[in-house]
Amino acid sequence: MASFNQVILMGNLTRDPQLKYLPSQTPVAEFGLACSRKFKGQNGEDREDVVFVDCSAFAKTAELIQQYFTKGKPIFIQGRLKFDTWEDKQGGGKRSKLSVVVENFQFIGGRDGGGGGGGGAHQDSGGEYQQRPQRPQQSRPQNAPPPEQPFGEEQQFKDDDIPF
C-alpha cells in the first residue's frame, strides 16, 4: 500500500513557541498556528474559516523557530501529520490529537514581521541551517542599452537561431 504524508501550511502563530528538551537533550519547540480561508457564503456575504493547528519542531529547527518567532508572526511550514493517543488520567477515557511535525519552514514578511515578501528558508537535514542563496545585485552602466529580450514581439527569430 502506497502512502504519502506531507502538509504545507501558512499562517500566524497563536502563541509564543515553547522550547522544551527531550531526555536525549534534543530541543522541541511547540506552538500553535492559525490558518484562515476567506470565501463567500451562500447569501453572498464574505466569510472566513479559521483552522487552529498544533505544531512541533525538533533540533535546530526548534531553536530557530523559538528564537525568531513570537505570537502573531507569519510563517510558512512544511511537515507531516502526527496522530497521538493516550489515556485520560481523570476520566480514564481515550484521548487523541492530530498535530504537525515541522520539517521545513520559511520566514514570511520583512524583518519587522510585516506580511508580504519572502525570506530565508530552513530545512532540518541533520540539524544544519540552510540559508537560501541571495542573488548578487547586478548593475549596468547608465549609458548601457537595455538587455535584449529574446524572441520578443519586436524581434523575430531566424531558422539559424534554432539549434536543431
CA distance 161 to 142: 30
What domains can you pick out in the chain, each with its CATH number? 7-88+96-123 (2.40.50.140)
The per-residue pLDDT for 19 is 97
- Residue 74: pLDDT over 80: yes
Contact 90, 103 (CB under 8 A): no
The per-residue pLDDT for 62 is 97
CB atoms within 10 A of CB 115: 9
pLDDT in tens, 17-57: 999 999 999 999 999 999 999 999 899 999 999 999 999 99
pLDDT in tens, 102-145: 999 999 986 654 444 444 455 554 433 444 444 455 555 556 55
